[in-house]
């Protein structure tokens, strides 16, 4: 039986759909509601004051980047959103050392052919360019820089350094990788562990580096606790 209050809610929802938006009471928490200044600053403030990332990464640029990925943190219930955000920030934290590093440690000093898959003819490496880790997810390899650049709108192959000089592009690369490789893992309920495999499984999973796996899981469970949500099952890889 549909009560008057339920009818009223249905009217509100229908009106929101026709207007192209839904009221927050129906949608639940937004990404900005979950990634509060306290949450973001609680991570980056653990980085040393001398870290390059301290003046590069910011909550504002992250939230701006999410505008290009409206499905991020908005699929399912509020708890689902919190788990996805906790998972993403766990990897951000691990990859950058609490937003300390913009570029992979030692990356600029390595030969430019590092992280160049010469067999990938669709995204050929540009002469003199290195595709080592950059940004919050530490985007690596020409076969990631190429399509990321095409999707976001920068020259990923010719100017991979943009990921380390433009904070908005940098966060967008992290979200691009996440949405293409990890979003469906989390939203389908597979758990946090498979996201580790998607990001760095060959070097960490199946006993390759249990310490780094534990570190990622530790960040994830800590952030879930901060956000007031259970971490779920299948945490390791």
Give the residue numbers marked as catalytic.
95
DSSP at 160: G
Q: What angle do CA 46, 200, 195 make, to 5 degrees?
A: 80
Distance CA(137)–CA(96), nearest Å, equals: 8
Distance CA(54)–CA(46), nearest Å, equals: 10
164: tokens are 């380390």
Q: Which residues of 92-110 are buried (b: 16+ CB within 10 A; e: fewer)?
A: bbbbbebbbbbbbeebeee
Q: Would you give the distance in Å from CA 151 to the centre of its chain?
A: 16
Q: Give the three-state DSSP class for 179.
A: helix
Q: Who contacts 143 (Cβ-Cβ below 8 Å, separation ≥6)?
A: 117, 120, 122, 123
Nearest to 72 by CA among 18, 137, 166, 6: 137
Q: Which residues of 155-174 are buried (b: 16+ CB within 10 A; e: fewer)?
A: ebbebbebbbebbebbbbbb
């Amino acid at each position: 039986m549909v009560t008057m209050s339920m009818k009223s809610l249905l009217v509100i929802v229908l009106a929101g759909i026709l207007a192209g938006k839904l009221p927050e009471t129906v949608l639940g928490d937004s990404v900005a509601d979950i990634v509060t200044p306290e949450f973001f600053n609680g991570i980056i403030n653990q980085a040393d004051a001398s870290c390059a990332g301290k003046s590069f990464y910011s909550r504002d640029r992250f939230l701006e980047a999410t505008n290009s990925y409206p499905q991020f943190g908005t699929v399912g219930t509020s708890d689902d959103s919190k788990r996805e955000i906790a998972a993403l920030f766990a990897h951000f934290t691990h990859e950058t050392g609490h937003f300390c590093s913009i570029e992979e440690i030692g990356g600029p000093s390595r030969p430019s052919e590092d992280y160049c898959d010469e067999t990938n003819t669709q995204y050929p490496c540009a002469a003199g360019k290195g595709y080592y880790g950059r940004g919050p997810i530490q985007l690596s390899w020409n076969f990631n820089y190429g399509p990321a650049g095409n999707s976001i709108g920068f020259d990923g192959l010719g100017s991979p350094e943009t990921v380390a000089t433009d904070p908005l592009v940098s966060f967008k690369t992290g979200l691009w990788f996440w949405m293409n490789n990890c979003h469906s893992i989390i939203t389908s309920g597979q758990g946090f562990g498979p996201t580790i495999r998607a990001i760095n499984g060959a070097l960490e999973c199946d006993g390759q580096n249990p310490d780094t796996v534990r570190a990622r899981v530790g960040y994830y469970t800590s952030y879930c606790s901060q956000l007031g949500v259970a971490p779920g099952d299948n945490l390791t890889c």
